[in-house]
Structure 1
């Protein structure tokens, strides 16, 4: 190390030494790197020189530090450009799992205030009350107690009512949606869906070769009724997929009069509707009428999941339907979801005992506080974004005021260990190219102020289109 000559070039040699260590760690290893003092002694250089080399690697996203533990490097991931043949969604997922990343792309509301502890406590109590069920007694469509509670929770009148036999519970939302695609025979049919839309739904429809027609949400949080009517008249629409209350990721709350107008139009055409109810519990108001309250329940299916408002310990997805009973039962039986009956009973007790509703009141308040803080920072430190004021949920939908190459923005931030969710992820036909979904719930970089500044810089520096 003494052969480097001038002292101010020594850090480059330290930098090169560290990059070799990272490369030799293997493609899947997470490597703990030498401490500042260890490396200074090993290479016979000053601690400040080692510190500078580490800081360079940290800015490049190749090294991350943990307080009172040291420096680490994960050599398995090389960020790939979303425009170079790789899948942008895969790039987001993979890099979001790297240690030390600031993940602004996530949508995990329950992580702010999970119900894991009360759920697991209930489960332990129930394990003492119920003996282990024989395999032949396990119900393929879900535990009867939970299905009964869900049916009651979704019943709003004598017309809009559900029975336990109308409820089907699966291991996760993806599995439930895959069953629905098969049961409804959606392969190579035409489906109308509001846009932007959750990427899980879009990818599943795309994999099933469904012809997806996207209805863009307008600035007021509504869809164009004339455009919808024109599609219903001119296209062989098999199904219409709409949000129940909150249109995510925009976070928009559709005016009730518009919701009723949509229901009337769909009723006149006898359209089948699949209602996305995943985010309804996160509406700031908490009591906004649902779209299903105005629809014909005999032409309606509803799907949702517990994970968004309970947490990772309740990943189950579910669907409510009055029709296709034998087909749904057969597909759930063939899928053979391995669901814990006791865990399902515990979730049922959370719902029926009022514990969930108390939790939702707190969670909605905390989510609103986090969103408000992020929006305030965006307004103070960024003059390049237009914000769609959210009315629920855990994220904020924004648009660049200047048409930019969002792939370039993504890459600039990725190099600084920041993950965003570009708007193109929420469309199959290139809509929302100048939009972003941002989350204030990141468990990475706690300094949200500096992160917002880096985001603004990346947008300013990105080439225009």
Structure 2
């Protein structure tokens, strides 16, 4: 076993060395790489170890071989940097997919430990039990078994109760939100969102022609009741979008008193609430009550997704609503062909059998350990440059530069060094949070994280004032 671990380390070291050579060569044209023997002699390793590292890079499409000539770095198309025609969010998306990029902004908690494998195994077992269902048996709002389990999971009292007919399952979260925008007729209407807000939600609302008013959260993720009441009196607000308990990307928890105050205020104004429940499973105080526990259930919709805590094999989004049944069923039926009935059954078994809760307990602990490691590094290396909002859950850390720097400059400098960050301006449509960053340790090894944090510090200190 010891020898195996040593061999694993050697080929990984050779792999990292080669990726650095490829990165140094640039992406504009193909560059010849050292031969197997040259590299073996240079690094004092076996030829077979070098060959294995090259084979991994070939599978990734980063190198190719020519008989009797050797290995070459694969030329990659040049990517535009900020300021050259693309907006920053598009630049983040495009460059995150490029090989060799070090992503310091990833918000994919399940990547740390997913339930993809158990889910697929359970799906195979169910396929042996259930024959393929005829199309006419497909449930328009999702599989009844999964809707029943979700309704029970979200029921907290005789007042705040849900039934299977109140649950609608879509192919993904984006599709669910698009349906809600259509059914609630939000085009041209005024919607209030807490800020910072998830960029997917912001861009969907913007694309649909929704008038978005941002309600900035105070320190600690607190909602200012006076500012909210002033908005509700002054504006004709069709809907307000709020987090259920854990507000991301800050990772802050609304206090119970603040939630009760906000719920009472919304009830007095008869405001419809769309509750974002995507992150509540990462709340480390698992007994925390949700915002919906104090809201009028007849003026409430709740949405979430499985992907954050199960993994990529469970991309389904869902919404709970007591109203608009006919319209919601019609819209979800149009997209029902994209849903796998057996996979929905498998998710229901994970939820109903307790496996999901066991997994979440482990995942919350692992996420906290990784966040703690990142926060400690940030305090040691960048304590003089950043203020850290201590998160209470999730995969990310929200920080603010103590000096008003040009974050666009920081972003561009790091992008040239193949590092991706998420500037705070991505989480606002109105230019808020210009001096903030969302950072994440996911996907980076310990040594790599130390190096990347050091480069972030350099970029922040060298950036001009905003």
Relative to the length of structure 1, the TM-score reads: 0.87
Distance apart, 1:78 and its partner CA: 2.8
Q: What secondary structure does 1:36 align onto?
A: coil
Counterpart of 1:464?
A: 465
Instruction: Please list, as runs of the form range in 1=range in 2, the aligned pairs for 1:41-60 lying within 5 A after superposition.
Output: none
Instruction: Please list, as runs of the form range in 1=range in 2, the aligned pairs for 1:174-253 lying within 5 A after superposition.
Output: 174-253=174-253
Matched residues in 2 for 1:445 and 1:412: separation? Answer: 22
Residue 417 of structure 2 corresponds to residue 413 of structure 1: no
Counterpart of 1:338?
A: 338
Matched residues in 2 for 1:19 and 1:413: separation? Answer: 18
Counterpart of 2:353?
A: 353
Residue 438 of structure 2 corresponds to residue 440 of structure 1: no
Q: What does the per-residue CA deviation read over 1:197-250, in whole Å, with 9 as the maximum and x for residues that have no partner?
A: 000000000001111000001112111111110110010100000000111000
Distance apart, 1:83 and its partner CA: 3.1
Distance apart, 1:82 and its partner CA: 2.3
Counterpart of 2:450?
A: 449
Does the CA contact (< 8 Å) of 1:420 and 1:436 recur in 2?
A: yes
Does the CA contact (< 8 Å) of 2:220 and 2:389 recur in 1?
A: no
- Root-mean-square deviation over aligned CA pairs: 2.3
Counterpart of 1:368?
A: 368
Counterpart of 2:9?
A: none
Q: What secondary structure does 2:191 align onto?
A: strand
CA pair 384-24 structure 1, distance change in 2 beyond 3 A = closer
CA pair 159-74 structure 1, distance change in 2 beyond 3 A = farther
Matched residues in 1 for 2:441 and 2:118: separation? Answer: 25
Counterpart of 1:303?
A: 303
Counterpart of 1:266?
A: 266
Matched residues in 2 for 1:443 and 1:127: separation? Answer: 37
Does the CA contact (< 8 Å) of 1:263 and 1:291 recur in 2?
A: yes
Q: What does the per-residue CA deviation read over 1:168-225, in whole Å, with 9 as the maximum and x for residues that have no partner?
A: 0000000000000000000010000000000000000000111100000111211111
Matched residues in 2 for 1:175 and 1:396: separation? Answer: 27
Instruction: Please list, as runs of the form range in 1=range in 2, the aligned pairs for 1:73-152 lying within 5 A after superposition.
Output: 73=73, 75-152=75-152
Does the CA contact (< 8 Å) of 1:229 and 1:265 recur in 2?
A: yes
Distance apart, 1:81 and its partner CA: 3.0
Distance apart, 1:116 and its partner CA: 0.9
Counterpart of 1:431?
A: 432
Does the CA contact (< 8 Å) of 2:386 and 2:402 recur in 1?
A: yes
Counterpart of 1:8?
A: none
Matched residues in 2 for 1:309 and 1:281: separation? Answer: 8
Counterpart of 1:56?
A: none
Gaps of 5+ in 1: 1-14, 26-32, 42-46, 49-64
Distance apart, 1:136 and its partner CA: 1.3
Q: Which moved more, 1:133-142 or 1:230-239?
A: 133-142
Matched residues in 2 for 1:415 and 1:66: separation? Answer: 25
Q: Which moved more, 1:221-230 or 1:183-192?
A: 221-230
Distance apart, 1:333 and its partner CA: 1.5
Does the CA contact (< 8 Å) of 2:194 and 2:215 recur in 1?
A: yes
Q: Which moved more, 1:231-240 or 1:442-451?
A: 442-451
Distance apart, 1:37 and its partner CA: 3.1
Distance apart, 1:67 and its partner CA: 7.1
Q: What does the per-residue CA deviation read over 1:132-158, in whole Å, with 9 as the maximum and x for residues that have no partner?
A: 001111112100000000000000000
CA pair 279-337 structure 1, distance change in 2 beyond 3 A = farther
Does the CA contact (< 8 Å) of 2:242 and 2:276 recur in 1?
A: yes
Counterpart of 2:324?
A: 324
Q: What secondary structure does 2:139 align onto?
A: coil
Q: What does the per-residue CA deviation read over 1:12-38, in whole Å, with 9 as the maximum and x for residues that have no partner?
A: xxx99x969x5456xxxxxxx543137
Distance apart, 1:284 and its partner CA: 1.1
Does the CA contact (< 8 Å) of 2:170 and 2:336 recur in 1?
A: no
Matched residues in 2 for 1:335 and 1:213: separation? Answer: 30
Q: What secondary structure does 1:392 align onto?
A: coil
Matched residues in 1 for 2:405 and 2:162: separation? Answer: 48
Of 34, 37, 42, which aligns to 2:35? 37
Aligned residues: 423
Q: What secondary structure does 2:35 align onto?
A: helix
CA pair 148-119 structure 1, distance change in 2 beyond 3 A = same
Distance apart, 1:39 and its partner CA: 11
Q: What does the per-residue CA deviation read over 1:108-138, in whole Å, with 9 as the maximum and x for residues that have no partner?
A: 0011010111111111111111000011111
